[in-house]
Amino acid sequence: MIHSAKNSKVCWRSTFICCLIGATFTVSPQGVYAQATNLQSGQTKQELDNLLKKGRELVDAKNWAGALPMFQRAAALDEKNPRIFSGIGYIQAQAGNFQEAISAYQQAIVLDPNNSDFEYALGFSLASAGNDQSAVTAYRRASELDGKNLNAHLGLGTVLFRQGRLDQALAAYRKVIAIAPKNAEAYEMIGLMLLQKEQFDQGVSALQRAAELNPRSSSIQINLGIGWLSQGDRQAALAAFTRAVKLDPSNGKLHLQTGKILQEVGDTTGALAAYQRAVNVNSQSIEAQLALADLAIEQQEFIRAIVAYREAARLDPQNARAYYQLGIALKARGRRTEAITALQEAQALYQQQGKPDEAKKAESALKDLR
């Protein structure tokens, strides 16, 4: 059964964020190719040129560990060159060392306080390190220095969205569209936020525009499907989900998310099929195995549930719930000995994990079998 938009039981916020499938819509800072400034010593300048040349070659080869000491030595020789410090920040960010990247970009900004790209790179590093509020400040500063800095507006919108500041995030993404009217990512994010604000017609329209601009994006299609579901149009929603899967058939997370959405709106058959595809694509996903098993046991498809719970328990031997549910499914099939073994394992794990209520449930189920 499809719920109306007004009465939908879908947990919109968590669903939308999950549907981004990891997308952040922020762009990594550009590598900065520093040049030597006016140094008094010709020998020092030659050494600096050599260091920067070798460092750039290593950066191009993505050899971050090799490039870093080259730029650090260059910074010691030319300590007033902001682009060298920016280069260090770029290398550290690419290596995932965001705190070090922050320090380097801050030094670059001290030397060149009006560089929008440096402020953007600082914002990117701060956001990547989880310091969202400081990232907002840096992104705003970058956009003030250069109103056409597209990446600064995108980064600002992303962080504000992550903080749940939807109106401000919408304003940031609308600035992106004003600068780049064909930016599909901005339209997608605008659509998502409008759906969260229950402005369903406008949200779907924005997502349709995103799909026109980027017809190869699976995330746009799945979010468009959610939009159609919010309006009660199951047929259009399923068509969008189908397009998403065709665009990215090997994405197990996409199949899993599709299953969750279909289950939330009452399409059990479709959800089971989606969960099964998720398992087929990535049999090592505990989340997919449990989702398939839970829905299967709910639908009394005990064989399918047994297979999935057994695999989940194999993947995570400390998962007491997987053993408990496995025991219940085995019991339903009359496989008494196997059920006892699974429930005993569940009971022992629950006790070890300090969950006495769950342990009592397992004990009660065991008594029914003895």
Q: Kindly give the interhelix angle for 184-196 and 200-213, rounded to the nearest 10 degrees.
A: 160
Q: Nearest CA to 361 among 346, 369, 316?
A: 346
Decide if pLDDT at 37 tops 70.
no
H or E segment to which residue 235 belongs: helix 234-247
The predicted-structure confidence for 67-123, as pLDDT tens digits, reads as follows 999 999 999 988 999 999 999 999 999 999 999 999 999 999 999 999 999 999 999
pLDDT given at position 262: 85
Q: What is the average pLDDT across 143-166?
A: 94
| One-character DSSP codes across 91-155 | HHHHTT-HHHHHHHHHHHHHH-TT-HHHHHHHHHHHHHTT-HHHHHHHHHHHHHH-TT-HHHHHH
At residue 3, does pLDDT exceed 60? no
Whether the per-residue pLDDT at 41 is higher than 70: the answer is no
pLDDT of residue 33: 52
Cβ-count burial 281-296 (b if 16+ within 10 Å, e if not): bbeebeebbbbbbbbb
Domain locations along the chain: 283-370
Helices 82-94 and 64-77, packing angle to 10 deg: 160
For the residues 6-15, what does the mean pLDDT come to? 40
The answer to whether 308 and 297 have CB atoms below 8 angstroms apart is no
| Contact criterion met (CB below 8 Å) for 265 and 229 | yes
pLDDT at position 19 is 43
Fold of 283-370: 1.25.40
Which candidate, 164, 162, 163, 216, places its Cα nearest to that of 185?
A: 216
Residue with tokens 């280069």: 87
Burial class (CB in 10 A: 0-12, 13-18, 19+), 176: buried
- Give the pLDDT confidence score for residue 97 in this predicted structure: 95
pLDDT one-digit tens code per residue, 132-144: 999 999 999 999 9
Give the Cα separation of 5 and 319 in Å (integer): 36
Using pLDDT thresholds of 50, 70 and 90, give the confidence band for residue 6.
very low
In this prediction, residues 158-163 reach a mean pLDDT of 92
Across all residues in the chain, what is the average pLDDT?
88
Residue for token pair 């001290």 = 110
Per-residue pLDDT reduced to its tens digit, 45-68:
888 889 999 999 999 999 999 999
- Among 133-142, 161-170, 261-270, 332-341, the minimum mean pLDDT is found in 261-270
| Closest listed residue to residue 290, CA positions, set 275, 274, 271, 302 | 275
Q: Tell me, what's the pLDDT at 261?
A: 81
Instruction: Output the pLDDT for position 299.
Output: 96
User: In terms of pTM, does the model score above 0.85?
Assistant: no
Give the 3-state secondary structure percentages of the chain, helix then strand then coil, rounded to 5: 75, 0, 25
Cβ(231)–Cβ(223) under 8 Å? no
- pLDDT band for 11, please (50, 70, 90 cuts): very low
Tell me the per-residue pLDDT of 214-237, one tens digit each, with 9 for 90 and over. 999 999 998 999 899 888 888 888
Torsion over CA: 46, 47, 49, 53 (sign): positive
Residue the block writes with tokens 């300590």: 79
Instruction: Please determine, for residue 20, whether its predicted confidence score (pLDDT) is greater than 70.
Output: no
